[in-house]
Structure 1
Amino acid sequence: MKMLLVFVIFLHVSQHALGIEVYEGAESVLLPCQVNASVSEKSTAVWSREDFRDPIVHARQQSGDVLGDQNHLYTNRTSMRTDALQTGDLSLTLRKPSISDSGNYTCTVRRSGQDLSRTQVQLNVILSTAEPPAWPKVLAAVLVVLVVLNVLAAAVIGVLMYKMYKGMKERKASYFYSLMRDMMTTVSQFFSNVTGHGVSSQQGKRRSRRSPAETEE
């Protein structure tokens, strides 16, 4: 009688299906199933879809996965924790969910041919054409704009600094050229004055050396 009561309670709990949604093409989706470890220990866990002719999605015993009767649509796409039966965490990981994966999944714990627990999970795979949340795209666009603005700002600052450096260099060159020109002019004038003064002195000396006879003539 106690076993029958427990069995009825578990079946009653299984009627409340969990709803899971995921976008098509996602890396994976987790179908949750938690039971008491005392129930799962020394038992077999079976995930199934009753709407399929081959209903087995994934099965696991104490020795490991049992995939001989697995529906071919789920080949290499399902996995459970290696310690699932020891811990009672019988959650199923389904990789690369597609639209055809939408449906009602049942997690069943069996021992000696008797169902001890049944948990139902309703999976809804949403078309990838449906728009996901917009904020990731907005954030990516903002980051791109910020990067572009930073690059442009760096380029503008670089151009301005180059122009300032070039202007200072040109001003220094112009000042140096003007200074050299003034120095050359000053030196040239100095030598001109010295040379002119020397010539005048020589002419004066020549005049003073003339004889009186030359003067009378």
Structure 2
Amino acid sequence: MKMFVLMLILLNVSQHALGVQVYDGEDSVVLPCRVDVSDSRDSVVLWRRENLKDSTVHVRRSSGEDLNNQNQNYSGRTSMRTDALQTGDLSLTLRKPTIRDSSYYTCTVLREGDMLSKTEVQLEVREPPPPPPPPVWPIILGVLVPLLLLAAAVVGFFMYRYNLVMKDREVPQTLIRVKDFMKETRQSQSQSSRDSEGEVPVPPRSETVSVHVAPPPSPITSVSY
């Protein structure tokens, strides 16, 4: 009978290892452990880290938390669900994991000194990934915008100078055209004045109109017979 009970206990022991990965500096990480409610009810749950001298990480009894023998490195950083023994969810929450927390942890369920279940969890805490490189477009804009503004300023300056030069060229041309116009006007007035002073009046031409007058008809002499 004792051998039969021992075999049933061994069948309920879980020896498979679970792997959990997290980055250093995260708020928390959950080490999973689930058993049947029939095993967790009225039992003691012991979380341990075997490679430490003080291997106790967390203990939960039916009466509540028992942290008297907890390793000081985990003080204030571990917790379990308040209804863990009633639901069978015996997962352990570890706050602020660090690289030093990387190791194998065991979740053992005990009842009256007998081991009902044991689950091994491997926790790997990694260095956080390097930050992504800064986007390139701010750098490109930071270079292109000043160059475009400078190019626009240079073009605007040369356009302004070109307009000034063209205006300076247009003024003399306008003055020359005005002078030519005034010169032509004076010459025209002078020529008109000379023409009016030296002109000899020409009498009107008399036109001879020849009128042909027909001779009067000769009288007709009547002859009587």
TM-score range, shorter chain: 0.5 to 0.7
Q: What is the identity, as a one-letter code, of the residue corresponding to 1:37?
A: V
Q: Name the CA distance, whole Å, in 2 between partners of 1:127 and 1:23.
A: 6
Is 1:54 matched with 2:54?
Answer: yes
2:145: which partner in 1?
none
Is 1:10 matched with 2:24?
Answer: no
**Deviation (angstroms), 1:141:** 5.5
Q: Name the CA distance, whole Å, in 1 between partners of 2:102 and 2:20.
A: 10
2:21: which partner in 1?
21
Overall identity of the aligned pairs, in %: 52
1:114: which partner in 2?
114
Secondary structure class of the residue paired with 1:25: coil
- The equivalences for 1:134-153 within 5 A come to none
2:175: which partner in 1?
none
- TM-score of the superposition, structure 2-length normalised? 0.57
- Report Cα offsets for 1:128-153 as digits up to 9, x if no partner: 3x347xxxx58x969x97xx9xxxxx
Q: Name the CA distance, whole Å, in 2 between partners of 1:37 and 1:10.
A: 12
Q: Name the CA distance, whole Å, in 1 between partners of 2:100 and 2:35.
A: 28
- The equivalences for 1:134-213 within 5 A come to none
Q: Name the CA distance, whole Å, in 2 between partners of 1:45 and 1:110.
A: 6
Q: Name the CA distance, whole Å, in 1 between partners of 2:8 and 2:125.
A: 34
- Report Cα offsets for 1:116-174 as digits up to 9, x if no partner: 1000000000013x347xxxx58x969x97xx9xxxxxxxxxxxxxxxxxxxxxxxxxx
1:38: which partner in 2?
38
Q: What is the identity, as a one-letter code, of the residue corresponding to 2:127?
A: L
Which stretches in structure 2 are left out of the alignment for 5+ residues?
142-225
Secondary structure class of the residue paired with 1:70: coil
- Report Cα offsets for 1:30-61 as digits up to 9, x if no partner: 00000000100000001001111111000001
List 4+ stretches of structure 1 deviating above 6 A: none
Count of residue correspondences: 138
- TM-score of the superposition, structure 1-length normalised? 0.59
Q: What is the identity, as a one-letter code, of the residue corresponding to 2:12?
A: F
Q: What is the identity, as a one-letter code, of the residue corresponding to 1:60?
A: R
Q: Name the CA distance, whole Å, in 2 between partners of 1:9 and 1:141.
A: 57
Q: Name the CA distance, whole Å, in 1 between partners of 2:99 and 2:117.
A: 28
2:98: which partner in 1?
98
Higher radius of gyration, 1 or 2? 2
Q: What is the identity, as a one-letter code, of the residue corresponding to 1:9?
A: L
Pairwise CA RMSD = 2.2
